[in-house]
Amino acid sequence: MPEPHAESASPPAGDRRVSPARIAVVQCDARVGVDQREENVERGLALAGRAADDGATLIVLPELCATGYAFATRAEAYAHAEEVPAGETVRRWEAFARDRAVHLVGGLAERDGVRLYSSAVLVGPDGYIGHYRKTHLWNTEKLWFTPGDRGLPVFETTLGRVGLLICWDIWFPETSRLLALQGADVICSVNNWVWTPPPVFDPSGRCMAVYLTMTAAHVNNVVIAAANRIGTDRDARFLGCSLIAGTNGWPIGEIAGPDEERILTADVDVVDSRSAPIWNGLNDLVRDRRTDLYQEMLGYAEGRAFPR
């Protein structure tokens, strides 16, 4: 398989970022099957290594990139699952993050007792930081996974505050809003976006998930790094379209195509989102919220509003 190139959006001349980071999203394939797990993990780390070679400091891999997606039975889903953070895949990701001095986000099937979760794990140069369990389950995921029970956490890192989302979550605007309200500087969205009934793409080649990601970034003034997968996995087909959306919602650089293994990178100021987005003399997103009509945290009790 030919090696993908890293598509980078460089900072402008006179860059004055106070918390610079190079974010990379990795778009790749993964195959279900216990005998495929080693190859899946190796390929993901090889691509993450190419991103690190290009200067990436925050690298995002797709949902279930260690296991593949299309489980046929609950028994098969259990066979693929690992404990977090004690499992072999997380240990491999931790070792990579320590060796390359980067932060890495990746998706896997997590086993906690008899319960299974589609989870996203965040590791850094000092090891395991935390993980998130998918809140909204898509289609047959409901047959093996339990809906997430860890809320919508935001993790403090040396880069800034990082929130995590998984795939179908982006269709629910409350998820990205609650991460932003808790002070997330960047949201890492790990995905297995699948083909749905047509039209899948608009004339520009963008899928609905791209617009939802751009919208979530725009209305919350937050960077969203969305990594999707490609290829087919049994009867599931995946549509690529990975992107990094800036705080204004527009993609930083290109949007990946539907079939290509690809690494996209963007140079950002992670804490840029902490400045209120004042678009004119009378409007900004934070001040204009009507919290006299709806509760500031939308009834969410597992976190608190964080000053930005």
Burial class of residue 256 (count of CB atoms within 10 Å of its CB; 0-12, 13-18, 19+): buried
Query: Residue 2: CA atoms inside 13 Å, Cβ hemisphere, count?
Result: 5
Catalytic residue from among 7, 63, 94, 261: 63
The C-alpha atoms of residue 281 and residue 288 are separated, in whole angstroms, by 12
188 among known catalytic residues: no
134 among known catalytic residues: yes
SS3 for 189?
Answer: strand
Where does 81-198 have alpha helices with state H? 88-100, 173-181
167 among known catalytic residues: yes
Is the separation of the CB atoms in 58 and 88 below 8 Å?
Answer: no
Number of Cβ within a 10 Å radius of residue 109: 28
* Omega prior to 173 cis, within 30 of 0: no
Q: For the chain, give percent helix, strand, coil, nearest 5.
A: 25, 30, 45
Catalytic residue from among 167, 188, 207, 241: 167
Catalytic residue from among 110, 134, 188, 241: 134
Active site (catalytic) residues:
63, 134, 167
